[in-house]
Amino acid sequence: MKGLKPTVLALCVAGAPPAVLAEIRQLDDDSMGNITGQAGVTIELETRINIDRFIYTDEGSLEINDIVVGGANRTDMFSETGVNLVGTASDNLDNIRINIDLANDGDAIINLLPLSFNAVDLRVTTGAWNLAGSGGSTTVMDNFRMDALIGSGTLRVDTATDTLNFRTDIAIDDMDFDVPFLALGIRDFQLTGADYDLQAPQPLRLFAGVDMDIYKARNAQNVDSLAIDLHTFEADIRIGGILVGGTSIGSVALDNLAITDTSMLIYGH
Tens-digit pLDDT profile for residues 181-223: 999 999 999 999 999 999 999 998 999 999 999 999 999 999 9
Closest to 237 (Cα-Cα) out of 198, 183, 184, 202: 198
Confidence of residue 11 (pLDDT cuts 50, 70, 90): very low
Closest to 233 (Cα-Cα) out of 197, 215, 207: 207
Q: What is the predicted pLDDT for the residue at 38? A: 52
pTM of the model as a whole? 0.83
Q: 165-185 pLDDT, tens per residue?
A: 999 999 999 999 999 999 999
Map residue 14 onto helix, strand or coil.
helix
Exposure on the CB side of residue 256, measured as CA atoms within 13 A: 1
Closest to 244 (Cα-Cα) out of 159, 171, 165, 183: 183
Report the DSSP beta bridge partners of residue 144.
126
Phi, psi of 125 (to 5 degrees): -130, 150
Closest to 150 (Cα-Cα) out of 179, 129, 173: 173
Report the DSSP beta bridge partners of residue 49.
69
Would you list the domain boundaries of the chain? 39-266
